[in-house]
Amino acid sequence: MEKIFGDIYRFSAGGDNAYLIKGETSVLIDGVKEEYAEKYISAVAKTAPFSDIKYIVINHSEPNRSGTLRSVLKENPDITVIASTAGLKFLSDLIDGEFHSMLAKDGMDMEINGGKMKFTYAPYMNWPDSMVTLYKNTLFSCDLFDGKSEFSEKYLDAAIEEITKLDYEYILSGSGAYENGPSAAFYIKSRHDTALILYSSAYGTTREMAEIVRETLCGIKTEMYDIADIDETIAADKINKCRALILGVNTINGDAPKKLWGIIGKTDKPSNKGKPCMIFGSRGWGGEGLYYIEHHLKMLRYGVYKKPFAAALRLNDTDRAALKKFAAEFAEDIG
């Protein structure tokens, strides 16, 4: 194993990192894929006898973190497995037979080698069982700062809020090189305080309506895009991060535009639960697209505002005044 600093060593294979704290009480932190078990066991044994290892912490039970756990327990069945509540449940399914375990309660700490080891839950980073482990001045962050994982904005925000309360100098990630504490800010995704307006318009009416809405929301920071001019993935990311979503929907062949469906399909459901959403658009005959989108967003648990505002193919002054009132009431509703 490679010595990182102090009493901490790292084993890397297949793009994943596992760690060893070598001391009076030796502790393994996570593992790697099962296919690397032989190399992993050999590397650990050359650094610290398995008879000296008392604990193995599994921050996240996905196989690329827990794949070598059974091999570790074959070397020393007396090693105690430490994991979150959900983690111990998952690991019991992965390991054939009984094993010694310790529940790492959220916020719990324990004395290790003259310092503290503290466990902080970070659910859905990537799985429900995920947590991070702080040892003295070093944070074992598992998937959280690995630079390659994609997380729900909702759960990422919750994890970051808890982790910023911890006092650490270094981050040891489940992948890649170690980083110092301040550099972790690079990975923290800030949420925007923006009302996002996305619209589709075939003949200009829904575009005019979008302009009226933006002018009415003059006291709120807004971004506005014709969906024809923005990439689906970029639009979905903006939806995930916005404060409120405003959709201008026209109807094509009795449905909402395919690209709008594509954008919504790429969004993150947990991030948008309860998010204020206003829908408007022009209609020719039935305006079905408006109502299909309304129904779908309600199914996704958005906070859909009233009924969609529908106007005919060509706006008159009454339509414009009514839309301004509708948008102003929405702005007041979202504060």
Provide the pLDDT for residue 240. Answer: 85
Cβ count within 10 A of residue 78: 11
**Integer Cα distance of 283 and 267 in angstroms:** 26
Average pLDDT over residues 225-243: 92
CATH class as words, domain 195-330: alpha beta
Residue 156 has pLDDT above 60, yes or no: yes
Q: Record the pTM.
A: 0.61
CATH class belonging to 2-187: alpha beta
pLDDT of amino acid 17 = 94
Q: Nearest to residue 246, comparing CAs of 196, 292, 297?
A: 196
Q: Give the Cα separation of 333 and 29 in Å (integer).
A: 48
Measured CA to CA, the distance from residue 253 to residue 4 in angstroms comes to 61
2-14 core/surface letters (b: 16 or more CB in 10 A; e: else): eebeebbbbbbbe
DSSP assignments along 44-64, one per residue: HHHHS-GGGEEEEE-S--SHH
Q: Residue ranges per domain, the chain? A: 2-187, 195-330
16 φ, ψ (degrees, to nearest 5): -115, 155
What is the model's pLDDT at position 239? 92
pLDDT at residue 302 in the model: 94
What percentage of residues in the chain have a pLDDT greater than 70?
A: 93
Lowest mean pLDDT among 107-111, 143-147, 260-264, 288-292: 143-147
pLDDT at 188: 41
**H/E element holding 159?**
helix 153-163
Q: What is the pLDDT of residues 48-99, one digit of tens each?
A: 999 999 999 999 999 999 999 999 999 999 999 999 999 999 999 888 789 9
Separation in Å, CA 286 to CA 80, 252, 253, 320? 65, 11, 11, 20
CA distance 95 to 58: 13
pLDDT per residue as tens digits for the range 76-86: 999 999 999 99
Strands (DSSP E) contained in the chain are 2-5, 8-13, 16-21, 26-29, 53-57, 80-83, 101-103, 109-112, 115-121, 131-135, 138-142, 170-173, 179-180, 195-199, 222-226, 244-248, 276-282, 303-304, 309-311
Binning the chain into helix, strand and coil, the percentages to the nearest 5 are 35, 25, 35
